[in-house]
Structure 1
Amino acid sequence: MNLLVLGVNHETAPLSVRERLAFSPTELQTLLPGLVAQPGVTEAAIISTCNRTELYCNARDPHALLEWYAASRGRKAEDLNHYLYVHAGPDAAKHTFRVAAGLDSMVLGETQILGQLKDAERQARESGSLGVLLNGLFQRAFQVAKDVRTQTRIGSASVSMAAAGVKLAERIFPSVSECNVLFVGAGEMIELCATYFCAEKPKKMAVANRTLARGELLAQQHGGEAILLTDIADRLHEFDIVVSSTASPLPVIGKGMIERALKQRKRRPIFIVDLAVPRDVEPEAAELADVYLYTVDDLSEVVRQGVSARQGEVVAAEALISDHVSEFNHWLASRELVPTIRDLRDHADRAARAELAKAKKRLAAGDDPAEVLEKLTLQLSAKFLHAPLASLNAADGDDQTALVTAARRLFRLHDEE
């Protein structure tokens, strides 16, 4: 088993790069089978969020993964090297556990990444690309996250992207309660943002989504209205705050759309938080006067405030992770023995059955049972000892010394001395 993690995240690449290297949910459904079809790749799972895209694989060659990843994004492998990291074996397990526990996130201790990892595991399982290695890795990662959450206070002061968005909005407007808020999309991130923003009791709230039914479910929870994405151009001027996070591969809010809204607003400012990767709002919109456009990377300063108060908990969390990595390595080593143990059992079983069949024939022929049992015992002993004795006799020098030591340990000969 060869555990590899290859990826890019907010520490290694800017948003402009991450959005070009991300996968959409639809893509993952079709790409996973193709990834495990690559030579040397037997298991695979992919996580793709606003802050990271990572490939978790049971694979022999990291370069082959890089080539596949680059090709899937329409890039050359050499163009990605500067932004990518690769972890193998125990380092890959440690990285996975840190990700699950929120220690590798832009927001230290955040919990949303755990749900995203569970989605990646489920998608891999449903596509048939999840095997023994990755199943064992993810199940232990989920346990690590639970232990870190319950045994440390790493997330007690966590500032989420949604909470950071509220803080930034209140730098532009006196209070969110005096604003009209538009949420674009109806996924998990927008649900979280709606919870935070609507807790401030805005004057009006609306959800724009591709399908009206999904938007209505979220809007009803917070006493708002639902509109279609196609309605945004006509309604954008009504809203002071816009929070967007869709899975669209192209921007859903253009610079021209915002310019028209500003004219209707008589230059009253618009605060926009674009949490999507790829981005939902054309970056050029930030050049407009009276537009305050923030992306996930722009929020990093806000979300990192208060991290120092949690650094003491990081040490405790890292210690828990180290213990789990050791346990995972022990499990992995035991899994490596399975084929050998199975072959040994099969070999012994075949030998025993062959000699038992001979013994039954002799008994059926009328031979003395005591002689048959004695012969059976001698034959079984000879069969079981033939291969190891032959190997000992054929070896010389250091090889023979090593085999003697192994044989005495395997057969516990020292216990009989």
Structure 2
Amino acid sequence: MQLTAIGINHDTAPVALRERVAFQFEQIKPALALFKEAWSGKRSLSAPEAAILSTCNRTELYCATEAQSSREQAVSWLSQYHGIRTEELAPHVYALPQSEAVRHAFRVASGLDSMVLGETQIVGQMKDAVRTASEAGALGTYLNQLFQRTFAVAKEVRSTTEIGAQSVSMAAAAVRLAQRIFDKIANQRVLFIGAGEMIELCATHFAAQHPRELVVANRTAERGMRLAERFNGRAIPLSELPSRMHEFDIIVSCTASTLPIIGLGAVERAVKARRHRPIFMVDLAVPRDIEPEAGQLEDVFLYTVDDLGAIVREGNASRQAAVAQAEAIIETRVQNFMQWLDARSIVPVIRHMHTQADMLRRAEVERAQKMLARGDDPAAVLEALSQSLTNKLIHPPTYALTSAPANERYLLKEIVGRWYSPR
């Protein structure tokens, strides 16, 4: 079985491309069905195992197939699904086979391949991806085993190393950037758009700075209100955003919208209403919530997840010893998984051997029963059965020894010798 991880991430592709390749949650199940159909149909093979991981920093396709995985076919499928020219997408795609795919999955879950070194959010996102693939009927023995070991490795890395110690999160980076624009966040009004996990993290960090006002705008009013109440803030309907945006000095947005919810025109009107007082905006969504052209306006400071990455990486150097320790753990677990994979590869051979041996046994038992039915001596029947069965069972290794080329015969002698050596 061939394992492959194919995708793009924050190191290989800019956010402008990542947002075009991202899968919304409701797209994943039907996308997996289309991928399996496309792969098996073109190759006349059984459908592959597959899972899709799509976050703001990466879109990855993990698959297990009977034949050698084709990077070109996977890139072509991604391009076709998202309506992107193949030549535009291909230079940014990585395709990792076998042990490289295993190592990559382990590193991603452990937070070693993240923009925020040691982040924990990715584990939950991977678990969601695996759960969705399972519900779609796209998982099987190999990917199930890969992901179960992936989560075990991530737990081991986090419990035995300091990889997550003093990690600089996206939320903390957003606060740092805001402090470069405003002397004191305590004097500013802050608006959060969305009510998901990332917004919750950001609200926690900004609330610690005791802003003048904290407001949440969310499509679901009840969820937005619950989040706002946690931080002694208030909630407003998302529909009021265009007319209220000028009231806020800091705006942090992260929704699941497939299209921008803040356009250039709305930002222009807000800046004008603010009489050109600066407005700090953070867009953590992929696809983006804020039209990127807004960042070109004077008095607008717009940052995306990629912009925050540079600040996050400043704190990574101090944790290099923990990284080395984590990498050593991962390397050992990769070797263990590959041993399991190699062992699985001989299962069909062993199954075939059992089937053949059982056929021989049945044939000899049937012959012995006929001999007994006609009155032959039972002792002679047992002797004949045992001799015949022995001869047929040792025929394959005997034939292999006598017919093997000279360069293979020595190894066969060693193997067969161990089988039949005195115990």
Same topology, TM > 0.5 = yes
Query: Cα distance, 1:192 vs. partner?
Result: 1.8
Q: Corresponding residue for 1:23?
A: 23
Tell me: CA distance 1:220–1:353, structure 2 relative to 1, closer, same or farther (3 Å).
farther
How many Å separate the matches in 1 of 2:54 and 2:142? Answer: 20
How many Å separate the matches in 1 of 2:336 and 2:317? Answer: 30
Q: Corresponding residue for 1:177?
A: 186
Query: Cα distance, 1:282 vs. partner?
Result: 0.7
Task: Provide Cα deviations, 1:329-373, integer angstroms capped at 9, x if missing partner.
Answer: 101101111111111122222222332233344445544332222
Task: Provide Cα deviations, 1:114-158, integer angstroms capped at 9, x if missing partner.
Answer: 111111111111111111221111111111111111111111011
Matched, 1:93 2:140: no
Aligned to 2:328, the other structure's residue is in SS state helix
How many Å separate the matches in 2 of 1:350 and 1:375? Answer: 17
Q: Corresponding residue for 2:75?
A: 66
How many Å separate the matches in 2 of 1:235 and 1:267? Answer: 16
Q: Corresponding residue for 2:302?
A: 293
Matched, 1:139 2:145: no
Query: Cα distance, 1:413 vs. partner?
Result: 2.8
Give the alignment partner of residue 379 of structure 2, picking from 360, 370, 386: 370
The one-letter amino acid of 1:413's match is Y
Aligned to 1:45, the other structure's residue is in SS state strand
Q: Corresponding residue for 2:265?
A: 256
The one-letter amino acid of 1:2's match is Q
Matched, 1:122 2:131: yes
Task: Provide Cα deviations, 1:208-244, integer angstroms capped at 9, x if missing partner.
Answer: 2222233233223323333332221122122221111
How many Å separate the matches in 1 of 2:184 and 2:154? Answer: 36
The one-letter amino acid of 1:329's match is M
Tell me: CA distance 1:366–1:216, structure 2 relative to 1, closer, same or farther (3 Å).
farther
Give the alignment partner of residue 207 of structure 2, picking from 198, 212, 227: 198
In structure 1, list runs of 5 or more residues that go unmatched: none
Task: Provide Cα deviations, 1:393-413, integer angstroms capped at 9, x if missing partner.
Answer: 44454455554444334xx23
Task: Provide Cα deviations, 1:162-214, integer angstroms capped at 9, x if missing partner.
Answer: 11111111222233333222111122211222222223333322222222233
Query: Cα distance, 1:81 vs. partner?
Result: 2.3
How many Å separate the matches in 2 of 1:364 and 1:231? Answer: 94
| 1:135-284 map, 5 Å | 135-284=144-293
Matched, 1:328 2:337: yes
Aligned to 2:256, the other structure's residue is in SS state coil
Aligned to 2:133, the other structure's residue is in SS state helix
Aligned to 1:243, the other structure's residue is in SS state strand
How many residue pairs were aligned?
Answer: 414
Query: Cα distance, 1:50 vs. partner?
Result: 1.3
The one-letter amino acid of 1:355's match is E
The one-letter amino acid of 1:47's match is L
RMSD: 2.0
Tell me: CA distance 1:396–1:333, structure 2 relative to 1, closer, same or farther (3 Å).
closer
How many Å separate the matches in 2 of 1:350 and 1:26? Answer: 50
115-124 or 273-282: bigger deviation: 115-124
Q: Corresponding residue for 1:54?
A: 60
Q: Corresponding residue for 1:10?
A: 10
Query: Cα distance, 1:107 vs. partner?
Result: 1.2
How many Å separate the matches in 1 of 2:289 and 2:249? Answer: 17
Q: Corresponding residue for 2:49?
A: 43
How many Å separate the matches in 2 of 1:180 and 1:364? Answer: 98
Q: What is the aligned-residue identity percentage?
A: 51
Tell me: CA distance 1:260–1:349, structure 2 relative to 1, closer, same or farther (3 Å).
same
- TM-score (ref. length: structure 2): 0.92
In structure 2, list runs of 5 or more residues that go unmatched: none
Aligned to 1:81, the other structure's residue is in SS state helix
The one-letter amino acid of 2:15's match is L
Give the alignment partner of residue 386 of structure 1, picking from 395, 406, 409: 395
